């Protein structure tokens, strides 16, 4: 009776930790969002599969709990890290009245770290991760966090930057950040990190709204110290050279 909420990293199995792989191999039931289940099912053939579509998070957790209560060892997969906009929190909440079910959280490489590595070393100093999705967070809260993170000179990493329904929010976010940061601030974005079609681009903050940024993209915005060194994005930590 166990659920292992497992972060599988950004995509390919090369980026999955041995601990995550072990969880997949040890399970009886593989559960998760369709796309992530399909990314890993070949690694654990013959398992029972519970897959649900987008926005079915509550149902996904309830089904995983049901399978565990029936005596199964469930691997519940999430992309990136299970506890960063993943399912770890909702799974713990869903199982609140079932202390007999062991819930283990297995971390994975989150999109911010993987994307930062492709671009250079932009997250070397204090940074803030902000999701632009207002499905679960009021837009006013997002605006406040963007403003204050920009004012406090955090490196800013944006998740869920733009969807088909939310075309303008990235542009608004950049406009808010520009109130506290220079237009030429070195920035970048990574699309499909660790998956087929991976792209990494460096540009200025002011150029970000014009880029082909979508829901499978992570955006990184430098702080006042971030520089470009040999084509890589670097936020100095302050060591004297």
Q: Is 135 in the site for ligand SAH (CB under 6 A)?
A: no
x/- string (CB under 6 A) for ligand SAH, residues 37-56? --------------------
Question: Which of 23, 111, 123, 146 lies at the binding interface for ligand SAH (CB under 6 A)?
Answer: 111
* Helices 169-178 & 139-151 angle (0-180, nearest 10): 30
Question: Which of 6, 52, 72, 79 lies at the binding interface for ligand SAH (CB under 6 A)?
Answer: 79
Q: How is residue 14 written in tokens?
A: 């090369």
Question: Which of 85, 103, 122, 170 lies at the binding interface for ligand SAH (CB under 6 A)?
Answer: 85
Q: How far is the CB of 228 from ligand SAH (least distance, A)?
A: 21
Question: Which of 6, 72, 110, 211 lies at the binding interface for ligand SAH (CB under 6 A)?
Answer: 110
Stretch that binds ligand SAH, among 17-25, 68-76, 165-173, 212-220 (CB under 6 A): 212-220
Q: How far is the CB of 80 from ligand SAH (least distance, A)?
A: 2
Q: How far is the CB of 240 from ligand SAH (least distance, A)?
A: 34
Question: Which of 65, 81, 124, 129 lies at the binding interface for ligand SAH (CB under 6 A)?
Answer: 81
Q: How far is the CB of 17 from ligand SAH (least distance, A)?
A: 13
Please say whether the beta carbons of 144 and 114 come within 8 A. no
Q: Is 216 in the site for ligand SAH (CB under 6 A)?
A: yes
Total site size for ligand SAH, rule CB under 6 A: 24
Please say whether the beta carbons of 31 and 1 come within 8 A. no
x/- string (CB under 6 A) for ligand SAH, residues 188-207? --x-xxxx------------
Q: What would the DSSP string read from start to end of the chain?
A: -EEEEEE-BSSSGGGS-HHHHHHHHH-SEEEEEHHHHHHHGGGSTT-EEEEE-TT-HHHHHHHHHHHHHTT-EEEEEESB-TTSSSSHHHHHHHTTT-TTSEEEEE----HHHHHHHHHEETTSS-EEEEE---SSS-HHHHHHHHHHHHHTT-EEEEES---SS--SHHHHHHHHHHTTS-TT-EEEEEESTTSTT-EEEEEETTTGGGS---TTEEEEE--TT-EEETTEEE-------
Residue from 72, 32, 77, 36 nearest 56 by CA = 32
Question: Which of 94, 185, 187, 217 lies at the binding interface for ligand SAH (CB under 6 A)?
Answer: 217
Q: Is 80 in the site for ligand SAH (CB under 6 A)?
A: yes
User: Which positions lie near ligand SAH, rule CB under 6 A?
Assistant: 10-11, 78-81, 84-86, 110-111, 115, 159-161, 190, 192-195, 215-218
């Amino acid at each position: 009776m166990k659920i292992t909420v497992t972060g599988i990293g950004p995509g390919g199995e090369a980026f999955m930790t041995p601990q995550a792989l072990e969880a997949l191999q040890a399970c009886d039931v593989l559960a998760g969002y369709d796309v992530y289940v399909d990314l890993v099912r070949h690694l654990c053939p013959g398992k029972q599969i519970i897959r649900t579509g987008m926005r079915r998070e509550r149902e996904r957790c309830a089904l995983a709990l049901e399978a565990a209560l029936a005596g199964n060892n469930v691997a519940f997969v999430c992309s990136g890290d299970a506890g960063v906009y993943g399912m770890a929190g909702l799974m713990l909440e869903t199982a609140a009245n079932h202390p007999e079910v062991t819930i283990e959280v297995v971390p994975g490489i989150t999109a911010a770290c993987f994307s930062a590595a492709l671009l250079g070393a932009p997250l070397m100093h204090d940074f803030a991760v902000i999701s632009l999705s207002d499905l679960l967070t009021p837009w006013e809260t997002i605006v406040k966090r963007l403003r204050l993170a920009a004012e406090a000179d955090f490196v800013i990493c944006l998740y869920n930057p733009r969807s088909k329904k939310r075309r303008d929010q990235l542009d608004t976010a950049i406009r808010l950040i520009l109130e506290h940061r220079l237009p030429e601030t070195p920035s970048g974005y990574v699309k499909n990190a660790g998956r087929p079609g991976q792209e990494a681009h460096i540009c200025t903050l002011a150029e970000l709204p014009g880029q082909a940024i979508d829901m499978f993209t992570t955006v990184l915005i430098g702080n006042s110290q971030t520089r470009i060194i040999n084509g890589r994005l670097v936020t100095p930590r302050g060591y004297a050279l």
